[in-house]
Amino acid sequence: MPRRRKKPGLHVPRNPPVLPPLEGRLEKIETKLAYLEDFLTRLQSAVLEGKGALDRIQGEHRVMKGRLLQISRELETLPHEKPPHY
């Protein structure tokens, strides 16, 4: 029986070692995913904290604006005369 010749070009082994490189890549991906999950958790906490602070500041702003308008109205109702002691 004649011996077959190998075809020129790319030689692919029958059982390539697929698992070791794939396991390393998966481990890197899992590590990155864990860091991203941690980052998103911390980012969400920071955003919620910032929203709470913003809500508080907006409430204080409304109160101060109302008080300023009240004082402005009170000043308008004062007589525009000099006090009697002048």
Name the token pair of 28. Answer: 């890197």
pTM of the model: 0.54
Per-residue pLDDT 10s for the chain (86 aa) are: 566 666 666 666 676 555 668 888 999 999 999 999 999 999 999 999 999 999 999 999 999 999 999 998 888 877 776 666 76
Q: Please, what sign has the CA dihedral across residues 36, 39, 44, 47?
A: negative
Q: Please, what sign has the CA dihedral across residues 5, 7, 10, 16?
A: negative
DSSP assignment, residue 2? P
**Per-residue model confidence (pLDDT) at position 55:** 97
**CA–CA gap between residue 10 and residue 13 (Å, rounded):** 10
**Per-residue model confidence (pLDDT) at position 86:** 62
CA angle 52, 58, 64 (to 5 degrees): 140
**Per-residue model confidence (pLDDT) at position 31:** 96
**Per-residue model confidence (pLDDT) at position 3:** 64
